[in-house]
Structure 1
């Protein structure tokens, strides 16, 4: 099954696609394409891929052929290093991610129609007990304040909508080892699938929607504006599910936490430069704080997000044939080999034997 690294996630995307079609027919609603950064996902994802493709090709063309011969350099790099098989891997990765994401958003929107019971009261009491008779968000407001901290944490929380698709596009386009891009696409896509299951397993709204009086001092930030927008859309959806609004309120588990944790774990496993990993983990810490600070999630929601993130990376590694690989060790071995030979590979990368093995998967040591 894993000779082609996308076999598993294509099967998963088909399965969740069938699930959302069945659910759509059951509730009598048509599927909707959620809007996001730079427009609908079917516009956003290809645009990101094109931008990442340009970011990877143009600097190489300048380095090899000079700034005056960029068009010629771009043509030569595409002709010698890019195949239709490589393009197909990028397309499949984006399509699988898109299918899982759109299915997740629609199934999330059907939540109030299929599960009317909510568990906010139980999770709120748990938060109150864990923090010795205090709400965690209130403690954070007292410690961090509700001014500059609110703006910083809001920026971190909202930027997730832009950064995650960009990192996916970067790995799919810029990494020559197709199985690595497939691993990341699989891991991110699994977040949508597992997150959807968690919403239906333990439906909640989140503290800001269950007890909004605790968060009134935060009005004016981008995060609070997003909450107000979600509340309006949620109310409109409940009044008329057949309208244009899509319901987007769900607490358990936190997919902000799960997706960013997935990215951080993946960066660790693939051994990107230490500085970037530190930045990623710092961003993750800010994301966790923001989920509680703004009342998006209960503490248990974030714990659930950690579990989903770990499971997504681990299952993605297995599904793409990367579970036994130590990419950091492989990179160090290549660097020692290149240093010993006194020269790097042509064009800055070299391929191992079997580049087109395992069902044609391109494996690069770059």
Structure 2
């Protein structure tokens, strides 16, 4: 009987992800109770995460169904075509898998943001900025990496471009998650991506507590005096104000958002790059992801968010998250899998094949 339940748990691609979300969620609740600091929902693009994630899911649902309905029944009978597609392809099992992926990501992200917010209380007075800065200085042969970047790229249009790339991360990652959860009939694909992204939050949280640091822009702000005002500048100022409020009253201030080691901008974008490659996504998507990743790495140094060691550690976390996520969802990692997005089943095999995928995700 026990073996049977174990086989069932292994067959479900979200077993590991749900356990991960439960673990970090409970940890956040316990720490919140012990410290007397209420849990907060981090707000962002389109409002709180519990609003924007379902909205994105519904948007991609419409993107997957409406064009196919028009192709199937024409403009005049598009509603009938959409109803047929939903009836044939959108089972409750498929909806449950999408909801599980979004919920797993949401719980891990909110818990990560809150546990990160407890840093100044739990690791008070511990700071590794001096050590990380010395490593940077040594790695760049007696130069500050930011100075090198500013000299090579200038501080004009390049600052605006890099700022746009850096800030766009806040909405692009949830968008890609919603796309892979909704626009594919292979449940394990969305589970792999959702689990990998969730692992980034958990592993990143651990790295923050191992090497608490603020980053060059906060520990050596004069290096960035020549940069123009951008979206990144406004974000950095906002985080600085939140930090000052946390030092005065951590129970009533917004969530603390400053942490340098490791760079989760780098880890999450590297996760996306590796995931697109391992699942054999279209070449243009892989190239775009690589370009975006490289620009993100440059931006983290250019604006002083991170030290070089932060980015190296972030890349390692991204690789580990994809590897563990692939193993946990039955997809493996070392062998390339062909998992291109499929909007609908038209022209494909019987939709019932989804149940076969669920029963044998590997």
> Which TM class, normalised by the smaller chain length?
over 0.9
User: Which residue of structure 1 lines up, in the alignment, with residue 36 of structure 2?
Assistant: 28
Change (3 A) 1:354 1:63: closer
- Deviations 1:232-254, CA, capped at 9 Å, x for gaps: 01111111112141100000000
The 5 Å alignment of 1:148-163 reads 148-163=157-172
Is the Cα–Cα contact under 8 Å of residues 219 and 225 in structure 1 kept in the other structure? Answer: no
- Deviations 1:184-209, CA, capped at 9 Å, x for gaps: 00000100000000000111000001
Residue 359 of structure 1 deviates from its aligned partner by 5.1
Change (3 A) 1:248 1:9: same
User: Which residue of structure 2 lines up, in the alignment, with residue 348 of structure 1?
Assistant: 347
Residue 351 of structure 1 deviates from its aligned partner by 5.1
**RMSD over equivalenced CA pairs, Å:** 1.7
Secondary structure at the aligned position of 1:208 is classed as helix
Of the three residues 64, 73, 82, the one matched with 1:65 is 73
User: Which residue of structure 1 lines up, in the alignment, with residue 186 of structure 2?
Assistant: 177
Of the three residues 296, 307, 314, the one matched with 1:298 is 307
Residue 59 of structure 1 deviates from its aligned partner by 0.9
User: Which residue of structure 2 lines up, in the alignment, with residue 335 of structure 1?
Assistant: none
Mapped pair 1:111 → 2:104: no
Of the three residues 221, 246, 271, the one matched with 1:212 is 221
Change (3 A) 1:346 1:142: closer
Residue 352 of structure 1 deviates from its aligned partner by 9.0
Rounded to whole Å, the distance in 1 between the matches of 2:336 and 2:259 is 37
Of the three residues 53, 61, 65, the one matched with 2:61 is 53
Mapped pair 1:307 → 2:316: yes
User: Which residue of structure 1 lines up, in the alignment, with residue 273 of structure 2?
Assistant: 264
User: Which residue of structure 1 lines up, in the alignment, with residue 336 of structure 2?
Assistant: 326
Residue 75 of structure 1 deviates from its aligned partner by 0.6
Rounded to whole Å, the distance in 2 between the matches of 1:184 and 1:206 is 29
Is the Cα–Cα contact under 8 Å of residues 41 and 49 in structure 2 kept in the other structure? Answer: yes
Of the three residues 242, 260, 269, the one matched with 1:233 is 242
Rounded to whole Å, the distance in 2 between the matches of 1:175 and 1:279 is 20
Q: For structure 1, which runs of at least 5 residues remain unmatched after alignment?
A: 332-344
- Deviations 1:253-310, CA, capped at 9 Å, x for gaps: 0000000000000000111110111011000000000000000000000000011000
Residue 60 of structure 1 deviates from its aligned partner by 0.7
Is the Cα–Cα contact under 8 Å of residues 118 and 204 in structure 1 kept in the other structure? Answer: yes
Secondary structure at the aligned position of 1:5 is classed as coil
Of the three residues 10, 19, 22, the one matched with 1:14 is 22
Residue 348 of structure 1 deviates from its aligned partner by 3.1
TM-score by length of 1: 0.92
Q: For structure 2, which runs of at least 5 residues remain unmatched after alignment?
A: 1-8
Rounded to whole Å, the distance in 1 between the matches of 2:252 and 2:354 is 50
Is the Cα–Cα contact under 8 Å of residues 356 and 362 in structure 1 kept in the other structure? Answer: no
Which shifted more, 154-163 or 319-328?
A: 319-328
Residue 349 of structure 1 deviates from its aligned partner by 2.3
User: Which residue of structure 2 lines up, in the alignment, with residue 341 of structure 1?
Assistant: none
User: Which residue of structure 2 lines up, in the alignment, with residue 336 of structure 1?
Assistant: none
